[in-house]
Amino acid sequence: MHHVAVVRSQVPHGRIVAIDCREALAAAGVAGVFTGRDIGLRPYGRRVRDVPILAVDEVRFVGERVAAVVADSRSAAEKAAATVIVDVEELPPVLDAEQALTPGSPRVHETPWAYPGAVVSEADPHNLQSRVLHGRPDEVERRLAGSRHIVDRVYRFASGHQGYIEPQTCVASVDAEGTVHVWMANKSPYRLRAQLAACLDVPPDRIEIHPVAVGGDFGGKGSPMDAPLCAELARRTGRPVKLVQRYDEDLTSANPRHSGRIRVRIGCDSDGRLTALTADALFDGGAYAGFKPIATVSLHGLVDIGSSYRIPAAAVDVRIAYTNTVPRGHMRAPGAPEAVFAFEAAFDELASEAGLDPAEIRRRNLLRTGEANPWGETWVESRGLETLEAALAAYRPLDVDRGWRHGRGIAVYDRPTSPGKTSLRLLPSAEGVVAEVPMPETGTGAHTVVREGLARELGIEPGLVEVRQVSTAALPHDDGVGGSRVTAALSKAVAEAASAYIDRGSDEAVTVVVEPGDNPPVTAFCVQIAQVAVDPRSGQVRVLEILSAVDVAQVVNPHAHRLQIEGGAAMGYGLACLEDLVMRDGRVWAANLGEFRIPSTVDVPAWRTVLVEGGRGVGALGVKSVGELSNVPTAAAIAGAVADAAGVRARDLPITAEKVYALLRSEEVS
Amino acid sequence: MRLAFLLNGEQFETEAPGSVLLLDLIRGCGLWGTREGCGVGVCGACTVLVDGDPVSSCIYLAGCALGTEVWTVEGVARREPDLVEAFIEHEGLQCGACTPGQLVMAAALRARGKDPGEAATREFLAGNLCRCTGYRSIVESVRATLGS
């Protein structure tokens, strides 16, 4: 096995004049050194194919891959990479999304509309990655003009890293027949195969993605990342190669969460009933759009803002801009924690204008069953009100230390449950069955769902079901882990496979492919109540408890389900109070997980969970999704609690002691 | 340099450069349970015991282990299988990337005596990051193995 070390750009924007690899090529153990000129411009991407394997002629962010060294050990590769001299003529960078869309600003790409999959045209502002306009802006303006109370505020969000413990990792080899083999910490093997096929110009059936356990994903491991490079290097050197990113590389040059701002305007009548909502979101997409998988190249959480409520008129405008900063990607419920933070904070501020309690204004406006949400979706049931009441009934105020102030905040989120396409093969084993599944275990319990579901359907002990991930050559298809779809999709596959297996006498292999099909439109609500203590002298915030009330149907594995809720809330807490992937001069400042802090055992508050049972789910097991639910409203609930405690409203995340202190002092001055 | 120490209870000897990290030496022996996460001693995934003390093997020079007793997660799991059982029973893991470090910490805490209570247990585990669970189930797993 040979190892790969990457030479990365040290400037946010520049033209590559020359790359001197001579010393690296002569170094002990080095099998090859490659640049973008060697590889050629072969862009890859999840939707827009704009990410070069190695930079060709131009670098667009600090951390971009410029050259790669292949050597017989990791240290030999790293030492040789350090000797590569990259001569760059610096170009003016654009480091801010607002500035990027201003006429005359530097161009991140010469012709962004020309990339395969691009959703922009030559007529758009030059650095636009995507724009989604939705709703009825004229109607919103008319209704806002007639509203009793109006709030118009801007909320801001730092970037953040997904914080998986296992960094981005890839192994590739090319066999004698030219088939490309990849072992990678990637959550969507079948999509990865298609993305690699498009980039490498190799038919998909000549690419095999092999099974691996993934050490945490949270949205960050859905892209091809280093796989195209590794495949090219394996092909060119004739050796299997391995690339494990050092965590500083992962922090500075992978695909962290988008930073941005949302301006929200909402109105209500004299009874506190919402009249209209409009949201104008502008987010920084960094140097490449290729890490966003959906057709709009946007963040669906932003587009769905306000979804839990009855709002007669709504409009949203979401723009994402290219800048010369690290390319941004997905993180657990992409865009939703930000949209919910902005909406719920504005809603609290509106409640205050209207003289209503935050719980009461939500009670009056939550969707009832049969009512359409602001984006025209109607669900078989809307249990937001029951979920809110369950949270309020379980709420118990906690004591705070002398001199500290107690605060309570409430936030609401709802997320639809939509299964994807997947497949499964069931075959007999010596004592029970083997289930071959197409998706990796990323820590969500996907394989546990299969084991327990099959045990139930076949009437055998779970211990007799062996679940095995197999390569992409072995099964027809899978949509990958993501979109909270895994349990819903797998439970359908499990039911169909078990039924077919029994029908054929339980002694021969069966393969099933399940399509999303006709599922009832189902959404799941999560209402969180945060309790905080704020020290008015220092601005320090202690989050004491997050109480999550969760709207559920059938729960397949109660332990795994609870961990999704608690782990999600921990991530929400990090977003609210800790995580800030600071950039200075276009460079990610954090070099390690001590400088970019994620929550530890002593940071996190206590978790309490209340399940609101009796809901109607989808699929054979009747489930509602949970994986991207509890991480979403947490920051909004904490911000509401801080406002309740301190009397000041933090409008940008994370909410640090410094920010609260500054808000308290400015309050005193005014 | 010549390196000799007790590894998981057995005498271990090898020739290695003085600059080699304990993490790389251990993994080079096929003991892949010890994981590299952050690489700078912050996340705890690479934790092993050196003379009973938990250390971050990613920033620990193998030469410093000369003449010591080193236990990795493989040895800990063999020596104290009830720790593994406790993590399974209390669901103290999800993706598993941090779990070897958490198990080694559980062994280190148990070696210090009885259950110090939840707050002190959390302090003890503060250097072992987990992004999946939210920690409640890890703390419960660790405390379940301690005498009260």
Q: Which domains does chain B have, with CATH numbers?
A: 2-72 (3.10.20.30), 76-143 (1.10.150.120)
pLDDT at A271 over 70: yes
Cβ neighbours around A564 below 10 Å, total = 28
pLDDT at A575 over 90: yes
Contact B131, A571 (CB under 8 A): yes
**What is the model's pLDDT at position B18?**
81
Does the CB of B138 have a partner CB in chain A at under 8 Å? yes
**Cα gap A247→B129, rounded to integer Å:** 14
**How close is the nearest chain A Cα to the Cα of B77, in Å?**
20
**What is the model's pLDDT at position A486?**
81
**Cα gap A24→A32, rounded to integer Å:** 8
Does the CB of B134 have a partner CB in chain A at under 8 Å? yes
Which of A443, A594, A604 is facing B96, going by the closest CB pair?
A443
- Mean pLDDT for all residues in chain A: 96
| B82 phi and psi angles, rounded to 5 deg | -65, -25
What digits encode the pLDDT tens for the residues B79-121?
999 999 999 999 999 999 999 999 999 999 999 998 999 999 9
| Chain A residue with minimum CA distance to B138 | A601
Does the CB of A581 have a partner CB in chain B at under 8 Å? no
| Chain A residue with minimum CA distance to B92 | A563
Please give the average per-residue pLDDT across B29-39, as a whole number.
96
**What is the model's pLDDT at position A606?**
98
Does the CB of A571 have a partner CB in chain B at under 8 Å? yes
Cβ neighbours around A437 below 10 Å, total = 27
CB contact under 8 A, A594 and B40: yes
Please give the average per-residue pLDDT across A258-274, as a whole number.
98
**How close is the nearest chain A Cα to the Cα of B89, in Å?**
10
| Chain B residue with minimum CA distance to A630 | B134
CB contact under 8 A, B131 and A559: no
Contact A415, A301 (CB under 8 A): no
**Cα gap A371→A381, rounded to integer Å:** 9
Please give the average per-residue pLDDT across A198-223, as a whole number.
96
Which of A218, A559, A566 is facing B131, going by the closest CB pair?
A218
As a whole number of Å, the CA-based R_g of chain B is 15
Residues of chain A found within 8 Å of residue B132, distances taken between Cβ atoms: 216, 443, 563, 567
ipTM associated with this complex: 0.97
| Position A482 confidence tier, pLDDT thresholds 50, 70, 90 | confident
The two tokens of residue A182 are 């990849």
**Cα gap A502→A221, rounded to integer Å:** 37
Cβ neighbours around A168 below 10 Å, total = 24
Contact A297, A327 (CB under 8 A): no
pLDDT at A669 over 80: no
| Chain B residue with minimum CA distance to A212 | B95
Burial class (CB within 10 angstroms; exposed 0-12, middle 13-18, buried 19+) of A121: exposed
Residues of chain A found within 8 Å of residue B122, distances taken between Cβ atoms: 601-602
Burial class (CB within 10 angstroms; exposed 0-12, middle 13-18, buried 19+) of A392: middle
Kindly provide the residue ranges of all beta strands, DSSP E only, lying in A196-295, ordered along the sequence: 207-210, 241-244, 259-268, 274-286
Distance of alpha carbon A195 from its chain centroid, rounded?
19
A471, amino acid identity: S
**Cα gap B100→A519, rounded to integer Å:** 41
- Consecutive H or E run containing A455: helix A446-458
The two tokens of residue A172 are 């590739």
Please give the average per-residue pLDDT across A313-332, as a whole number.
98
pLDDT at B41 over 80: yes
Does the CB of B98 have a partner CB in chain A at under 8 Å? yes
Does the CB of B136 have a partner CB in chain A at under 8 Å? yes
Does the CB of A483 have a partner CB in chain B at under 8 Å? no
Instruction: Report the percentage of chain A scoring pLDDT > 70.
Output: 100
**What is the model's pLDDT at position A481?**
82
Residues of chain B found within 8 Å of residue A216, distances taken between Cβ atoms: 95, 97, 131-132
Does the CB of A578 have a partner CB in chain B at under 8 Å? no
| Position B148 confidence tier, pLDDT thresholds 50, 70, 90 | low
Q: Indicate the length of chain B as a whole number.
A: 148
A402, amino acid identity: R
- Note the maximum CA span of chain B: 45
| DSSP alpha helix (H) spans, A505-590 | 558-577
CB contact under 8 A, A601 and B134: no
**Cα gap A180→A187, rounded to integer Å:** 18
**What is the model's pLDDT at position A205?**
96
Contact B6, B69 (CB under 8 A): yes
Chain A interface disruption, residue of B102, B105, B131, most A CBs within 10 A: B131
CB contact under 8 A, A247 and B133: no
Helices A558-577 and B136-144 meet at what angle, rounded to 10?
120
- In the block, residue with structure tokens 């705070």: A400
Please give the average per-residue pLDDT across A229-239, as a whole number.
97
CB contact under 8 A, A215 and B95: yes
Contact A290, A43 (CB under 8 A): yes
CB contact under 8 A, A593 and B129: yes
Least confident of A54-58, A473-477, A515-519, B29-33: A515-519
Kindly provide the residue ranges of all beta strands, DSSP E only, lying in A459-586, ordered along the sequence: 465-469, 510-514, 523-534, 541-551, 583-584
Kindly provide the residue ranges of all beta strands, DSSP E only, lying in A308-352, ordered along the sequence: 313-322
Contact A456, A386 (CB under 8 A): no
| Position A491 confidence tier, pLDDT thresholds 50, 70, 90 | confident
What one-character DSSP code corresponds to residue A462? G
Please give the average per-residue pLDDT across A393-409, as a whole number.
98
**Cα gap A5→A295, rounded to integer Å:** 33
The two tokens of residue A552 are 């559920």
Q: Indicate the length of chain A as a whole number.
A: 670
Contact A423, A414 (CB under 8 A): no
- In the block, residue with structure tokens 């020290």: A535
- Consecutive H or E run containing A500: helix A486-503
**Cα gap A586→A597, rounded to integer Å:** 20
CB contact under 8 A, B131 and A594: no
CB contact under 8 A, B40 and A167: no
pLDDT at A418 over 90: no
Predicted TM-score (pTM) of the model is 0.97
CB contact under 8 A, A567 and B131: yes
Burial class (CB within 10 angstroms; exposed 0-12, middle 13-18, buried 19+) of A206: middle
**Cα gap A125→A13, rounded to integer Å:** 19
Residues of chain A found within 8 Å of residue B139, distances taken between Cβ atoms: 601
Cβ neighbours around A459 below 10 Å, total = 8
